[in-house]
Amino acid sequence: MSQPLAVAIAHSNIALIKYWGKSDSARNLPAVPSLSLTLDGLTTTTRVHFDAELAEDHVELDGSVALGREQKRVVALLDRVRALRGFDTRARVASRNDFPTAAGLASSASGFAALALAASTAAGLELPLETVSGLARQSSASAARSLFGGFASLPADSECAHQLAPEGHWDLRLLVAVTEEGRKPLGSTEAMEVTKQSSPYYAAWVAHAPTLYQEAERAIRELQFDALGASMEQSTLMMHASMWATRPAILFLTEGTLAVIHRVRTLRSQGLPCYFTVDAGPHVKVLTEAKHADALQCELTALSQVKRVIPCAAGAGARLISETELAGKVALC
Ligand code: DP6
């Protein structure tokens, strides 16, 4: 093999219009269309090395050997790459996030996007970005969007995501208000499956999601901030409402989350343009225009429930980096 090693970086993305629920669980196809902003902060760096000497895959995440479900999900993606390439060589994978893993900050999105790009390249495959997005999507549907910079879309039932508008299209900021440190108790995959199985609100969610998606897509095209914010907040709260109606209820929103949500609404009523979104975790991501980002950051940082604020602008899509560039960035292992 000519190039058995590759390193890729990918940024996390935050859904402005949420993916929640699968139309086909076995193929991991989304039941609803989603739309995201790729962020310039929250980065995963992943190196994949296919090595004929290895008897099995070796996976290290944030400096620790991955076990159980985490390890299985990585190996499953490597298996798909091996099947495409038609070889059986095992790989050494090392990956590092510059933000807390599995805490509701979309670490699986940047993680599987970086892994899909690094693994397919290391295997010698030169795949179109859409195909790499499809590989990532099979591991975690939100990851399909992180291959693309700026605004990305993953239509319902779709194999892969595509870019709606590049990062320079609109100078927005997403401020991540971290309300708790530590891993979240329940993963998105399980939580959305329970919602589908037991929430009487799930059907209403799936029926209304395309309307929210279309509103948001138009708002992005026409740079209508309030229209985008309104669709984003409704998508967020409809998704959480569908979870609240499961038995037992799934509650990702904590007291801290609600305090930040209320503060955002108050600030908006006082004339600071800002809108909230929350994923499968307690943190609140607050969208604003670049010119208001500093004022908003001061307001959020002042809240006792907020541990820290990570300000993010629109970021680029996943890309390969050289070993030299890697050496200047992070120590992988
Ligand atoms: C709330 O992409 O993590 O962040 O496909 O089962 O891996 P799987 O789910 P995942 O779900 C993300 C859910 C969300 C909303 C979103 O990113 O669209």
**What pLDDT does residue 104 have?**
59
Structure confidence by residue, pLDDT tens digits, 15-53: 999 999 999 999 999 999 999 999 998 899 999 999 999
User: Which of 135, 142, 186 is the best mutation target for the ligand 1 pocket, counting ligand atoms within 8 Å of the beta carbon and taking the most?
Assistant: 142
For the segment 239-264, what is each residue's pLDDT rounded down to a tens digit?
999 999 999 999 999 999 999 999 99
Q: Report how far residue 112's alpha carbon sits from residue 135's, in angstroms, rounded to the nearest whole number.
A: 9
In three-state secondary structure terms, 181 is coil
Helices and strands counted in the chain (H then E): 9, 14
Tokens 């058995």 belong to 4
- Give the percent of the chain with pLDDT over 90: 89
- In 3D space, the residue among 244, 108, 123, 132 whose CA is nearest the CA of residue 184 turns out to be 108
Query: What separation in angstroms does the CA of 262 have from each of 104, 258, 268, 274, 286?
Result: 20, 6, 10, 12, 12
Q: Is the pLDDT of residue 333 over 60?
A: no
CB atoms within 10 A of CB 299: 22
pTM recorded for the entire structure: 0.95
**Strand-pair partners of 61:** 64, 95
Dump pLDDT digits (tens) for 171-185.
999 999 999 987 667
Q: Is the pLDDT of residue 323 over 60?
A: yes
Residue 141 CB–ligand 1 contact under 6 Å: yes
Q: Which of 77, 135, 188 to mutate to test the pocket of ligand 1 (most atoms within 8 A of CB)?
A: 188
Q: Measured from the CB, is residue 18 less than 6 Å from ligand 1? A: yes
The winner for highest mean pLDDT among 68-72, 100-104, 118-122 is: 118-122
Most confident among 131-145, 169-183, 315-329 (mean pLDDT): 131-145
Which residue is closest in CA terms to ligand 1's atom 6?
189
pLDDT digits (tens, 9 = 90+) for 280-306: 999 999 999 999 999 999 999 999 999
